[in-house]
Structure 1
């Protein structure tokens, strides 16, 4: 089934064909698909042709980067510097450090959306019962996610009072430091807005989310020092600014780490939501390769095994 035909499965005129207990599914699909389309259009309006350029960069990279990483963010940033320097986000009176942070933010958001697009525009909704379990998953950092990661990028979507909200999940490979990261990009603004998507990196090391967050904070500070030509000796003792920041990041993102771990495991039962409307599934989970016919995303429902 091509993407245009697929999207028609969730059209409003077909809502009556869905069982009452699943009426929320087509509503959520339409809201999420509309939201994601707006984000893609905003990205392409600010950076015309950028995703084609990034795909060319990915093809050129070949096997020099791990298969589980779509394109390292440093390479995305280089494409912006080479072709879109006049279009990167600016702010009046911003310092050199501030401009560098804004440019890095543009690259991180494009990486999140680009990885999702390149993988085939797949959305995953996690069952409510599993959501509750994941929120209580604790502080463990599953460093082996790259060996299990199903697609370059996923969009985890949930029903919301005004439609749908979600988060992009993807993996980053830091070529300079030879390090893997999980990247979490929540898309939760009331209205879809590219510049309101924060991207939180977390080093896939350290054993716990808190320790991974601490290493991430220290790495960010080292990056700032490199840009400014300074040298900081950070205080990492309990109660220090670094410790407080790490604990805040861990608390905010532990759920997403647990969700990524769960989605990359053999624990979920995952199926194409269009089956509920009487259609044939587009593919088994995880899809063997990206489908590039049309722009409409595919929605998968993931629940506990059995």
Structure 2
């Protein structure tokens, strides 16, 4: 078989890329990019890793993708049609699984004939593969360009590409707004045409108007790929007449667009993991590089702040990755439907569960697990991400009365709590949920906790609840257990295990302390810890929603202010 120039060019680029992503140079380069504030799409859990380990994990992922990829190239006529469609934003480009020419792939071009340009760079390769852990349905898509002259090194002749940007691209019925004639945030405008052009290339590679055939590179390149463990070492090259191919693609896009009319609540801001959240948590006045300016006591506060902000940011990010657009969807639902539930409840957890099940097709067990956790996070973030360094403990007992007046008295819909203990820091979010059984109580206190494991993710976050009944905390715990036992019997037909007396007392003891802490917070008098650094103005009390994505930490000076010894039942 004759050597095909396009196939040889594509296979050579793939081989060089494999050598590059496996090299020590790449690990140093990727880690440096992350340290300097560069961002890559990654599972939320990876945010807890040191920069070097993040780089290692990212490179392993890219190595696997390039190694497993089918390689594709485009003849000039096909590339012309693809570029024209990518640049014509009036053409909607629905993205569905059947458009992919292979589950994992690498589209290779050249500096002379790039796919598109982005930020002044020429995009000469696109890689794609299955979504990363924790993301919803779609693909992970990465765009690559040659390194600028100042980064090229003669000692690294196989340094062919650097990753310009990557994203999670969801399948329909969810739409990335770059694929429709929609406004794109100015900071992401440069990605719109490349993303559209890549999807147009998928249309071309699976179009009946294009001929797709395997062609061979030089034997030496094929042998090199074999030694590198690359699979599918041939190159699939697409050929076709530009005008016919353009007509075929636009007809197909029109048919799909008619079937998949973008619903407003399924239209996603570009890259949900970037559109809804900052890729990394904002530490603001407590940034680690400024710790040297703080007193020892302030440095301790700064450490507590960063650990809590990082933990809750990872949970927010994980939710946005698993359920693209979820936070905007819930905020819109809250604004539209909030008169349907009590003012002291941001949104009932069963309402959130219903959204996950109906809008995302989540199975019921998963939706019931994630629903209360996302409701707590949603209440916390919607209220302004306010957190409190938990007050010192008081002598409470399980027989203390339930402070039912807490309902409607909390300063924000979701309360972040940091428990600074000798055994580690516990991070909790508490919020008021509507009671499933109003004959017991009007409200149910729901708490999600990492239980001293700040790297915990949604699947390992503990949920603790308490019906705010009249009577003692112990009686409320027993009533709560009885309610959930009855629900378990009704749902499974089986008898649930009976909790031991010790576990019931432990539950009541924990809730007694937590209720006292919430009463203390509701009483007021707290101070913005960030203002004590002299780097910001103090946030007003009571706290309210913020315009910035950063967390606000509140502290209380017990040496200057008196508090009652016991938690009051009425406030």
Does residue 299 (structure 1) correspond to residue 553 (structure 2)? The answer is yes
Following superposition, the deviation at residue 116 of structure 1 comes to 0.6
Instruction: Indicate whether 1:112 and 2:368 are aligned.
Output: no
Gaps of 5+ in 2: 1-277, 563-571
CA-based RMSD of the aligned residues comes to 2.8
Change (3 A) 1:243 1:111: same
Asked which structure has the greater CA Rg, the reply is: 2
Alignment of 1:159-238 (within 5 A): 159=420, 164-174=425-435, 177=438, 179-187=442-450, 188-228=452-492, 230=493
Q: CA deviation at 1:155?
A: 0.8
Q: In structure 2, do the counterparts of structure 1 residues 190 and 34 end up closer, same or farther at CA, with 3 Å as the change threshold?
A: closer
User: Per-residue CA shift, 1:257-281, capped at 9, x if unaligned?
Assistant: 2211221224xx3111111211343
1:10-89 aligned at under 5 Å gives the runs 10-86=286-362
Q: Equivalent residue of 1:221, what SS?
A: helix
CA distance in 2, matches of 1:158, 1:225: 35
* CA drift at 1:285: 2.1
The alpha-carbon distance between structure 1 residues 13 and 190, as it changes in their structure 2 partners (threshold 3 A), is closer
**Residue 241 to residue 279, structure 1, CA distance change in 2 (3 Å):** closer
Cα deviation for residue 158 of structure 1 reads: 3.7
1:150 to 398, 411, 417: 411
Match of 1:138 among 392, 397, 402: 397
Q: Unaligned regions of 5+ residues in structure 1, if any? A: 89-98
1:290 corresponds to 2:553: no
Q: Secondary structure at the match of 2:403?
A: coil
User: Matches of 2:436 and 2:547 in 1, distance apart?
Assistant: 28
TM-superposed deviation, 1:195: 1.2
8 Å CA contact 1:271–1:300 kept in 2: the answer is yes
Q: Distance in 1 between matches of 2:518 and 2:306?
A: 24
Which residue of structure 2 lines up, in the alignment, with residue 270 of structure 1?
A: 526
Conserved? CA contact 1:172–1:181, under 8 Å: yes
Please say if residues 284 and 550 of structure 2, whose CA atoms lie closer than 8 Å, have aligned partners that are also in contact: no
Is the 8 Å Cα contact of residues 273 and 300 (structure 1) preserved in structure 2?
yes
The normalised TM-score by structure 2 is 0.45
Q: Which moved more, 1:251-260 or 1:44-53?
A: 251-260
Question: C-alpha separation between the residues in 1 aligned to 2:494 and 2:289?
Answer: 61
Mapped contact 1:217–1:242 kept (Cα < 8 A): no
Q: RCO (CA 8 Å, sep 6+): is it higher in 1 or 2?
A: 1
